[in-house]
Structure 1
């Protein structure tokens, strides 16, 4: 599928997009649009510092490896609420996430951020697709993200793709931290992601959760901050699979294999409840 790119003159405003998402109901088809969105975006230094503090990243002169998701979020929202996108945004589930760092994320921009969707496939619980995000500068690609997202309301023919391999390396505890009751609201204030399931117990219960849950990308960011130099500044791939949600408040433990050019990790809660598992490798 060839992507038809729309270059935006400015970053989309989120309030109208949230309203559009709230009003959207029902599946309108089973074909992903060929629309892609691009925009020149610069980093807000104050917001970046708040993000670093919230996720545990030190200021090493580079953007955190998960920060391009923050820059791209308004474009992602506009694309997933566009009339050509067939699935309602509310109810989509972020299952897996891959980031690939091609070159060091230095500087504050402006960068070209782009988003598009592709690779719609059957899943045992519905259908999954990839939301692809790219960050580029004048020299080309810096970073790429692939968010695999589930829509339960769609059933496709064919066999679901095989799952990626499970943890096979020995792991040891390397970090512990608290996920406080307000982390969903604090992360939303930085990331812009005000999904009700993250904000309070009252709003989360409307969607079937007993309490608010932590953002999956906060879990991943906090994990990468704790992994530190296991993941280099460039030339890496990090994959994660989101498992059971982190109910707020909670205490979690990060387990990881020994530092090497490739490795594995998992984030667990009380009684070894699996919240997230993943791997890194140098490319």
Structure 2
């Protein structure tokens, strides 16, 4: 698919985009738009410091491997609330996330973010698509990501596709932490992601959840922060699948394989509840 790129001269404002998201509740088609959005963004050091604190990253002079998602959030919102996008943003389910860090992300003060959607596929509960995000500097691509999203109720022809990969390495407990009741609000302040299912039990119940749940990307970020000494800082791909949500408040345990160029991870809750599984490996 050829992408028709639109370059913005500034980041979109989130307030108007949330209004668009709140007023669009219907599926309007089954074809993804061929438009992509690009914009140069500045790295706000105060926001970056707040993100590190909320997610547990040390200040090592590098952007955390999940931070480009924060830089891209407003652009992603504009793409997913555009008239041409056929699915309502509220209600989309984040199934999996794959990031690739191509080069060390040190001394990044300004970068170009690009976002697009592609790969519409049938799913047992509706349809999935990939939200593709890239981060470039003057030398080329630094980082790229694929977030697989599910829209329930979409009817597509074809057999459902399943892409989960089971862990194959021996895992040991490496960390344990609490996800407090207000972590959804803390993460929203640094990310801009004020999805009601993460903010409070009252707002989550409006969307069918008995209590608020943690952001999937906070779970991934907190996990990668805990594994920082085991993971390469570049030339690495880190993929996770999200399973049962982390209800707030909760306590979780991180299991991982020994430090190596490739490895597996699993985030577990009480009663062997599996929240997230994943794998890291060198780029090929």
Counterpart of 2:120 in 1: which secondary structure? strand
Instruction: Look up the match of 2:112.
Output: 112
Correspondence 1:252-271 to 2 at 5 A: 252-271=252-271
RMSD, aligned CA? 0.8
**After alignment, is 91-100 or 166-175 more displaced?**
166-175
> How far off is 1:167 after superposition?
1.6
Correspondence 1:5-154 to 2 at 5 A: 5-154=5-154
> How far off is 1:169 after superposition?
1.4
Q: Distance in 2 between matches of 1:73 and 1:116?
A: 12
Counterpart of 1:135 in 2: which secondary structure? strand
Q: Distance in 2 between matches of 1:116 and 1:144?
A: 12
Instruction: Look up the match of 2:185.
Output: 185
Q: Conserved in 2, the CA contact under 8 Å of 1:39 and 1:112?
A: yes
Counterpart of 2:11 in 1: which secondary structure? coil
Which consecutive segments of 4 or more residues in structure 1 shift more than 6 A? Answer: none
Alignment: residue pair count:
283
Instruction: Look up the match of 2:166.
Output: 166
Counterpart of 1:106 in 2: which secondary structure? coil
Instruction: Look up the match of 2:229.
Output: 229
> How far off is 1:92 after superposition?
0.5
> How far off is 1:109 after superposition?
2.5
Question: Residue by residue, what CA displacement relative to the aligned partner does 1:73-130 show, whole Å, maximum 9, x if unpaired?
Answer: 0000000000000111111000000000000111233100010000001111110000
Q: Distance in 1 between matches of 2:269 and 2:78?
A: 34
Correspondence 1:267-282 to 2 at 5 A: 267-282=267-282
> How far off is 1:160 after superposition?
1.7
> Structure 1 unaligned runs (5+)?
none
Q: Distance in 1 between matches of 2:127 and 2:66?
A: 25
Q: Conserved in 2, the CA contact under 8 Å of 1:109 and 1:137?
A: no
TM-score, normalised to structure 2's length? 0.98
Q: Distance in 2 between matches of 1:125 and 1:231?
A: 34
Question: Residue by residue, what CA displacement relative to the aligned partner does 1:192-237 show, whole Å, maximum 9, x if unpaired?
Answer: 0000000000000111111100000000000000111322110000
**After alignment, is 37-46 or 107-116 more displaced?**
107-116
Q: Conserved in 1, the CA contact under 8 Å of 2:36 and 2:79?
A: yes
> How far off is 1:260 after superposition?
1.1
Q: Distance in 1 between matches of 2:79 and 2:57?
A: 29
Question: Residue by residue, what CA displacement relative to the aligned partner does 1:1-26 show, whole Å, maximum 9, x if unpaired?
Answer: 10001100100000100000000121
Counterpart of 2:197 in 1: which secondary structure? helix
Q: Distance in 1 between matches of 2:25 and 2:57?
A: 38
Q: Distance in 2 between matches of 1:243 and 1:48?
A: 28
Counterpart of 1:230 in 2: which secondary structure? coil
TM-score, normalised to structure 1's length? 0.99
Q: Conserved in 2, the CA contact under 8 Å of 1:118 and 1:132?
A: yes
> Structure 2 unaligned runs (5+)?
none
